[in-house]
Chains A and B, each alone.
Chain A
Amino acid sequence: MPGKLKVKIVAGRHLPVMDRASDLTDAFVEVKFGNTTFKTDVYPKSLNPQWNSEWFKFEVDDEELQDEPLQITVLDHDTYSANDAIGKVYIDIDPLLYSEAATVISGWFPIYDTIHGIRGEINVVVKVDLFNDLNRFRQSSCGVKFFCTTSIPKCYRAVVIHGFVEELVVNEDPEYQWIDRIRTPRASNEARQRLISLMSGELQRKIGLKVLEMRGNAVVGYLQCFDLEGESGLVVRAIGTACTLDKLSNTSAFLPACNSPSKEMKEIPFNEDPNPNTYSSGPSTPLKNQTYSFSPSKSYSRQSSSSDTDLSLTPKTGMGSGSAGKEGGPFKTLLRQQTQSALEQREFPFFTLTTFPPGFLVHVGGVVSARSVKLLDRIHNPAFVGIMGNTRSYKLLDWNSFNSDEPETRDAWWAEIRQEIKSHAKALGCHAVVGYSESTSICEEVCILSASGTAAVLNPRFLQDGTMEGCLEQRLSWQPGFFSIGSEKGEVDFFPQSQDSSSLLGIEEASPPGCGFCHIPYDELNMPFPAHLTYCYNCRKQKVPDVLFTTIDLPVEAIVVGKGCLIQARLCRLKKKAQAEANATSISNLLPFMEYEVHTQLMNKLKLRGMNALFGLRIQITVGENMLMGLASATGVYLAALPTPGGIQIAGKTPNDGTYEQHISHMQKKINDTIAKNKELYEINPPELPEEIIGSPIPEPRQRSRLLRSQSESSDEVTELDLSHGKKDAFVLEIDDTDAMEDVHSLLTDVPPPSGFYSCNTEIMPGINNWTPEIQMFTAVRVSRLSNINPTNQTLNKNFNDLCENLLKSLYFKLRSMVPCCLCHVNFTVALPEDELVQIAVTAVAITYDKNQALQANKAPTEKSQQRASTDNEEQLQFPLELCSDPLSSQPFSPAKEVLEGASSHTGIPAAQRATSVDYSSFADRCNSWIELIKLKAQTIRRGSIKTTTSLEKASPLAEGYLRHRSVPSGTNSTVSVVKMTPLSFLPGAKITKYLGIINMFFIRETTSLREEGGVSGFLHAFIAEVFAMVRAHVAALGGNAVVSYIMKQCVFMENPNKNQAQCLINVSGDAVVFVRESELEVLPPQPAAAAQPTGAAGDVTT
């Protein structure tokens, strides 16, 4: 008997009139938990009853506590007939089960009815007394904390990041049970809501158990989804990242411990190339610099000796140090080995996190994804495994080859896909996958399972127990977007950590400032695919790809030029209507082409904006009756470490035709103009300086990647053309048919947002960091009819494209009063509810920023990078120095220069390797070659990266101080009732002081009077508003004032206008938090702070 749940029903208000005669209501309340029910007295003749009930006590075990929702039903008493239900409130009591979260749930909850919507409010108080030591009850996992946030939550530090946890629960869908024929829609809806609530509870408990087994105490990046499989059932599945978190009870108390001298940390930076001057600790005082002048070769052994803490790793490091010199190859291998061992015990080395503590990500290999088409009505018969993306093991499986006797569960389906993902990552030389997510798309009996993530090499020290006491803080995961100088906070966190790493591990590869994550993790001599490599534009030491795609957020420390922008690829493919296997086969045949097209579009659009990397890439493939839709969203940025993207060249196939030529050149001009305009718009002025200094380390030979996307008879001729200008490589678009023409046109139809607006789908908008506190989260839903009589892929594409563009346009217009602002975390979801109907749902947050503070913003790393390039301002000088020549002279170690020179000489990559020209000339094997091409392209294209240490460090103490300052409550918490919602993990200008628990809610709304409720729009508008209201009410009752990492995971809308009916299911989740507003502390002069902290002790200034 480990727990006692206590519930008190206080009062109701604004109840609906249930008795027409008296215009009043005789309300009473049923309180149900598990199988126990209590009732209040009837409060007669009132729309605002005051029950003031006794405490209803439920004595239950904690397993039940975790699984069951508290169910409160408000009824109207009727003497002669059955009591009428007014509505219900479901309360998830999970937040009361862990000590640090809420202690009481108390407040006004909307009374919700699935047919009538919100009908008044009820005031409830809920408490839980837990009797026993929770750990003794292994069936329950009380005490394990859940976070939707995909980074280490702000007021915690990660002691260990254990890794992937997953679970799924299957049940029959009440909607499809026989009993549904005889019960009311309300009863059916409520049965479904309750079942899903139960299943979520159970799922969470089971995941919690797994976490406890791993010796963790929390799940971060928890994502729970429902698959409504119709007849075949209801699947609730969840994935997450198990962690051991430590609550920072008092930030300032914690700080002193970790903000030890910044100098130590400087040594630590793990650079792949041992040359210390690349990460010149320039910013710190000269004295500090001298303290560690070390020769490259020695540096490692030094570190290892200094690490008195065990670490099996240290000896190895010593060994590796010698050879690490030039290539970094052996070292890389070493690192991989170590990390691998840390990851080996894990079945799937996956992480659902998208933002990481600095130093966690060593290299990013690229996007890995896998999709599989399954038939739901034949659970025992696996359909097809099609792997898209970076796989080398692309395979088409014959339907009939499967052994239908072998039972397969959905568990196995996912395991299969995860296995694929794992092997793709391996092929990219990576041992882990970060930014991992899974999704499904279901249409009738066909289901596409998708998984994607970013292959990465991780730093092992975060993955093992006991290695990182006090070194990983919640603040490590810190978003620079937070406030104007937020980025510096990120750096701040760096200190303790690196220091730690130096003493404890010392094994990190050294990666030069701001570019380490871009460096290829695979062996360049034995590359898994032909890639287009150059030397890193930042450090000149390591190889980087030309373009990089990732599913993670932009690392805090990444050096970015200019601003980012939302980039979308949109695609429709018609498909014949078919049944069962035929249907699944045609879908699986289409998938590779879609994936290929999506990548081509992304690539083109990226180049059109003059950018070279994508973050937060999310590709959805949605299956409908007669078509497939692909929508890819990502945030494009210009990474300083990667080469400047070449332009887009158009090549015609019939060069002799004069007018055609003219047309081509006209198009070419338009494209060039667009690129130029975009560069201006997004302020992309990459620094030219470093090149000159180093002496053009860029390989001479032109590099070119050509893509022939048409049925060309021969492309030999074209290959001869020198399409590249200067040292930039060109991306060739060959247009020889209307298809391609359309594509080029569609490229140019993407309208940039109106002035004052920026948009991205990541947490951080590169280049903007002076956020003001005003935010507006919204959900927009559109359903459009594709009304073509004879639709073709082209017309569908255009329709779909217009639909998305118009929706964006509409958002910009709606939010025009917030200008200047940025739409962050723009999340599109596409569904095909019926033939010819396309549903798009967008959730995002608009955040205002202060244009005038832009000057101040130069402290942010993103800005810094720009400044580095063009340094004229004294204040900024420190940074540029590090990058350029100054470090060389100022640094005491002599090898520096030599190494640099060496580096430049090394740049001569064999031309053969560099030139990537993929031509598939024969029409006959077009198909095959495309598939091949996809592999190649996908692999080449996407790489993510992470930068570790940098010159930015110096600013960090300041930021730290800043941070602490902010923790002082301003006391200006105005209105209690206001609850902010945001899909981001932070609130601009505010500090999250407490996480109250996860919000995971599922609602069904149905109507049989659609017209009377204002048609489909009126119905859905009201429902979404109701969902928001219920989320806010629950958060407020927990004592919170915001929901972060809010996400609408599902919005399933069905209508039957002929019957005047509609039904909608919505599933949302997020983290309930308490935040404290930052107020006048906003302006803290950066320079004094930096100067005042020669020791780099961040805490000193502010405490």
Chain B
Amino acid sequence: MSSDLDVFVGNTTLIDEEVYRLWLDGHSVAEAVARRLRGGLLEREATSVAVLQSDTRDHYRTFQMLERLLHAPPRLLQQLLFQIPPERQALLVQRYYAFDEALARELLGKKLSKGTKKELDEVSARTGVGIRSCRRQFDNFKRVFKAVEELRGPLAENIQQLFLLPPSLARDYAAIVFFANSRFETGKRRLQFLSFGDFAACAQSMMAHWSQGALAPEAAEPDGDLPKSFLQDLKELKVLVTDKDLLDQHKSLVCSALRGKISVYNELEANFKVIEPCRSDKWSPGDLRLFLQHYTAAPRNLPGFRHQALWERYMAAISACLLRMFHD
């Protein structure tokens, strides 16, 4: 005797966290049942496989119906179809938008386009994240990106508001949006050692110091875009590198300031602007911080350098990024 139709609907929607996870991971009903069986549920609850299948299907159906709402979490709060306690709603959203860092790292800086989506198969193979889960996460990135692309104000806060995510998760999404927007090439071999967390932190400092919102909260531009004027201004800073005089003076100022304070002083001169030498020369983070401090402060004493404020704004983010990147 087969059951053609088999549904269970509670006035309060039942959410089974384990089944939700299996669903999010992209398992089919059969796979999910198999995994639940392996978990020993059958013995624990003294039930049958048929019951487990029926239960899993019920949950899957519920999640499929909920998915539409999860795409716009504020609707989940307002909708009348499913009665779900607030803490459960939060859990649903949070889990739905949680992502695998390995996957995020892969996609960082890439255009969130159909083309990229087609490459997800490879990404899935590389990261070990199920393809269905990959697609869902990719869609999440894209959805968040689209939603906040045009919005003013702090990126993370916008995301938090639109998607009801916990602050830390919202910040991570902000980083993803930031990279997707500015297309930093994070895939370079030299950057392979950096994790998603590193980049997220960098993105945060860059947004914090460079974006328009950082200067004027009422700014017209979204935080994800670096203001054009700022990028324009940065050209002015090139003098520090291109003008041989200034470069030398800058160097000597920094060196004299740091003399005796840094254990690896000898190699200092060679180290301007590059992080790898520091690593190979076994600088300590403290050394680097000190160096960056002085490096940032030094131009103040350079004759004819008029862009100290801009320089400091630039260096604030760069320093933070360098420090973050400077790990083993």
A interface with B by C-beta (< 8 Å):
13-14, 108, 110, 118, 121, 754, 776-787, 799, 802-803, 806, 809-814, 816, 837, 839, 975, 978-981, 1014, 1016-1018, 1020-1022, 1024-1026, 1028-1029, 1032-1033, 1053
Pick the contact of A814 from B55, B64, B83 — CB < 8 Å?
Answer: B55
Query: Across the interface, do B61 and A780 meet the contact criterion of CB distance under 8 Å?
Result: no
Query: Across the interface, do A814 and B8 meet the contact criterion of CB distance under 8 Å?
Result: yes
Pick the contact of B80 from A980, A1014, A1033 — CB < 8 Å?
Answer: A1033
Given A1028-B11, A1028-B83, verify A785-B51 contact (CB < 8 Å): no
Q: How far is the CA of A969 from the CA of B198 in the complex (A)?
A: 53
State how many angstroms separate the Cβ of B295 from the closest Cβ of chain A: 51
In the complex, the 3 A-B pairs of residues with the closest C-beta atoms, listed nearest first: A783-B5, A1024-B9, A778-B10
Which A residue sits closest to B7, measured CB to CB? A1021
* Cβ of B249 under 8 Å from chain A: no
Question: Which chain A residues lie closer than 8 Å to B121 at the CB level?
Answer: none
Given A108-B80, A1032-B80, verify A1021-B4 contact (CB < 8 Å): no
Which B residue sits closest to A1036, measured CB to CB? B80
Question: Which chain B residues lie closer than 8 Å to A1016 at the CB level?
Answer: 4-5
Query: Across the interface, do B2 and A14 meet the contact criterion of CB distance under 8 Å?
Result: no
Query: Across the interface, do A1028 and B4 meet the contact criterion of CB distance under 8 Å?
Result: no
Question: Which chain B residues lie closer than 8 Å to A980 at the CB level?
Answer: 11
* Cβ of B269 under 8 Å from chain A: no
Question: Which chain B residues lie closer than 8 Å to A13 at the CB level?
Answer: 78
Q: How far is the CA of A358 from the CA of B178 in the complex (A)?
A: 72
* Cβ of B30 under 8 Å from chain A: no
Query: Across the interface, do A1021 and B65 meet the contact criterion of CB distance under 8 Å?
Result: yes
B interface with A by C-beta (< 8 Å):
1-14, 45-48, 50-52, 54-55, 57-58, 61-62, 64-65, 75, 78-83, 85-86
Which B residue sits closest to A803, measured CB to CB? B1
State how many angstroms separate the Cβ of A932 from the closest Cβ of chain B: 36
Q: How far is the CA of A809 from the CA of B42 in the complex (A)?
A: 12
Which B residue sits closest to A812, measured CB to CB? B47
Which A residue sits closest to B65, measured CB to CB? A1022
Query: Across the interface, do A1017 and B11 meet the contact criterion of CB distance under 8 Å?
Result: no
Query: Across the interface, do B80 and A809 meet the contact criterion of CB distance under 8 Å?
Result: no
Pick the contact of B9 from A754, A778, A783, A1033 — CB < 8 Å?
Answer: A778
Which A residue sits closest to B61, measured CB to CB? A1021
Q: A980-B11, A1021-B7 are in contact. List 5 more A-B contacts (CB 8 A).
A: A782-B3, A784-B1, A1016-B5, A1024-B9, A1053-B5
Question: Which chain B residues lie closer than 8 Å to A784 at the CB level?
Answer: 1-4
Query: Across the interface, do B14 and A975 meet the contact criterion of CB distance under 8 Å?
Result: no
Query: Across the interface, do B57 and A1017 meet the contact criterion of CB distance under 8 Å?
Result: yes
State how many angstroms separate the Cβ of B190 from the closest Cβ of chain A: 44
User: Could you give 20 example pairs across A and B, Cβ below 8 Å?
Assistant: A14-B79, A108-B80, A110-B81, A777-B10, A777-B11, A779-B9, A781-B7, A784-B1, A803-B1, A809-B47, A810-B55, A812-B47, A813-B45, A978-B85, A981-B11, A1017-B57, A1017-B61, A1021-B61, A1029-B82, A1032-B83
State how many angstroms separate the Cβ of A1066 from the closest Cβ of chain B: 11
Q: How far is the CA of A816 from the CA of B52 in the complex (A)?
A: 12
Query: Across the interface, do A806 and B51 meet the contact criterion of CB distance under 8 Å?
Result: yes
Which A residue sits closest to B54, measured CB to CB? A810
Query: Across the interface, do A1024 and B7 meet the contact criterion of CB distance under 8 Å?
Result: yes
Given A14-B78, A784-B2, verify A810-B10 contact (CB < 8 Å): no
Question: Which chain A residues lie closer than 8 Å to B50 at the CB level?
Answer: 806
Q: How far is the CA of A786 from the CA of B79 in the complex (A)?
A: 39
Q: How far is the CA of A790 from the CA of B11 in the complex (A)?
A: 40
Query: Across the interface, do B61 and A1018 meet the contact criterion of CB distance under 8 Å?
Result: yes
Which A residue sits closest to B53, measured CB to CB? A810
Q: How far is the CA of A837 from the CA of B5 in the complex (A)?
A: 10
State how many angstroms separate the Cβ of A898 from the closest Cβ of chain B: 57
Q: How far is the CA of A811 from the CA of B54 in the complex (A)?
A: 10
Question: Which chain A residues lie closer than 8 Å to B55 at the CB level?
Answer: 810, 813-814
Question: Which chain A residues lie closer than 8 Å to B86 at the CB level?
Answer: 975
For A118, A780, A787, A979, the residue with the greatest tally of chain B CB atoms inside 10 Å of its CB is A780
Pick the contact of A813 from B1, B7, B47, B79 — CB < 8 Å?
Answer: B47
State how many angstroms separate the Cβ of B244 from the closest Cβ of chain A: 58
Q: How far is the CA of A782 from the CA of B48 in the complex (A)?
A: 17
Pick the contact of B82 from A787, A978, A1017, A1025 — CB < 8 Å?
Answer: A1025
Given A108-B80, A787-B2, verify A810-B11 contact (CB < 8 Å): no
Given A782-B5, A787-B1, A1028-B9, verify A809-B81 contact (CB < 8 Å): no
Query: Across the interface, do B45 and A754 meet the contact criterion of CB distance under 8 Å?
Result: yes
Pick the contact of A110 from B48, B62, B80 — CB < 8 Å?
Answer: B80
Q: How far is the CA of A1017 from the CA of B5 in the complex (A)?
A: 5
Query: Across the interface, do B4 and A1020 meet the contact criterion of CB distance under 8 Å?
Result: no
Given A13-B78, A14-B78, A778-B11, verify A810-B51 contact (CB < 8 Å): yes
Question: Which chain B residues lie closer than 8 Å to A779 at the CB level?
Answer: 8-9
State how many angstroms separate the Cβ of B224 from the closest Cβ of chain A: 23
Pick the contact of A14 from B1, B54, B75 — CB < 8 Å?
Answer: B75
Pick the contact of A780 from B8, B47, B64, B82 — CB < 8 Å?
Answer: B8
Question: Which chain B residues lie closer than 8 Å to A787 at the CB level?
Answer: 1-2
Q: How far is the CA of A1021 from the CA of B61 in the complex (A)?
A: 8
Given A14-B78, A813-B51, A1021-B58, verify A802-B45 contact (CB < 8 Å): no
Pick the contact of B48 from A809, A816, A839, A1017 — CB < 8 Å?
Answer: A809
State how many angstroms separate the Cβ of A64 from the closest Cβ of chain B: 29
Which A residue sits closest to B48, measured CB to CB? A809
Q: How far is the CA of A777 from the CA of B14 in the complex (A)?
A: 11
Query: Across the interface, do B75 and A776 meet the contact criterion of CB distance under 8 Å?
Result: no
Query: Across the interface, do B4 and A837 meet the contact criterion of CB distance under 8 Å?
Result: yes
Q: How far is the CA of A839 from the CA of B85 in the complex (A)?
A: 31
State how many angstroms separate the Cβ of B31 from the closest Cβ of chain A: 18
For A980, A1020, A1021, the residue with the greatest tally of chain B CB atoms inside 10 Å of its CB is A1021
Q: How far is the CA of A837 from the CA of B64 in the complex (A)?
A: 27
Question: Which chain A residues lie closer than 8 Å to B13 at the CB level?
Answer: 1025
Query: Across the interface, do A1014 and B64 meet the contact criterion of CB distance under 8 Å?
Result: yes
For A781, A782, A978, A1017, the residue with the greatest tally of chain B CB atoms inside 10 Å of its CB is A1017
Question: Which chain A residues lie closer than 8 Å to B82 at the CB level?
Answer: 1025, 1029
Question: Which chain A residues lie closer than 8 Å to B9 at the CB level?
Answer: 778-780, 1021, 1024-1025, 1028
Which B residue sits closest to A783, measured CB to CB? B5
Question: Which chain B residues lie closer than 8 Å to A1053 at the CB level?
Answer: 5
Question: Which chain A residues lie closer than 8 Å to B52 at the CB level?
Answer: 813
Query: Across the interface, do B1 and A1017 meet the contact criterion of CB distance under 8 Å?
Result: no
Which B residue sits closest to A1022, measured CB to CB? B65
Query: Across the interface, do B8 and A778 meet the contact criterion of CB distance under 8 Å?
Result: yes
Question: Which chain A residues lie closer than 8 Å to B65 at the CB level?
Answer: 1021-1022, 1025
Query: Across the interface, do A810 and B8 meet the contact criterion of CB distance under 8 Å?
Result: yes
Pick the contact of A786 from B1, B5, B58 — CB < 8 Å?
Answer: B1
Query: Across the interface, do A785 and B8 meet the contact criterion of CB distance under 8 Å?
Result: no
Which B residue sits closest to A13, measured CB to CB? B78
Which A residue sits closest to B8, measured CB to CB? A780
Question: Which chain A residues lie closer than 8 Å to B83 at the CB level?
Answer: 978-979, 1028-1029, 1032
Q: How far is the CA of A1072 from the CA of B305 in the complex (A)?
A: 77
Query: Across the interface, do A1017 and B7 meet the contact criterion of CB distance under 8 Å?
Result: yes
Which A residue sits closest to B62, measured CB to CB? A1021
State how many angstroms separate the Cβ of A21 from the closest Cβ of chain B: 19
Given A121-B80, A783-B4, A1028-B83, verify A776-B10 contact (CB < 8 Å): yes
Q: How far is the CA of A154 from the CA of B58 in the complex (A)?
A: 36
State how many angstroms separate the Cβ of A1096 from the closest Cβ of chain B: 41
Query: Across the interface, do B6 and A782 meet the contact criterion of CB distance under 8 Å?
Result: yes
Question: Which chain B residues lie closer than 8 Å to A810 at the CB level?
Answer: 8, 51, 54-55
Query: Across the interface, do B47 and A1026 meet the contact criterion of CB distance under 8 Å?
Result: no
State how many angstroms separate the Cβ of B28 from the closest Cβ of chain A: 14
Q: How far is the CA of A746 from the CA of B293 in the complex (A)?
A: 85
Which B residue sits closest to A107, measured CB to CB? B80
State how many angstroms separate the Cβ of A742 from the closest Cβ of chain B: 17
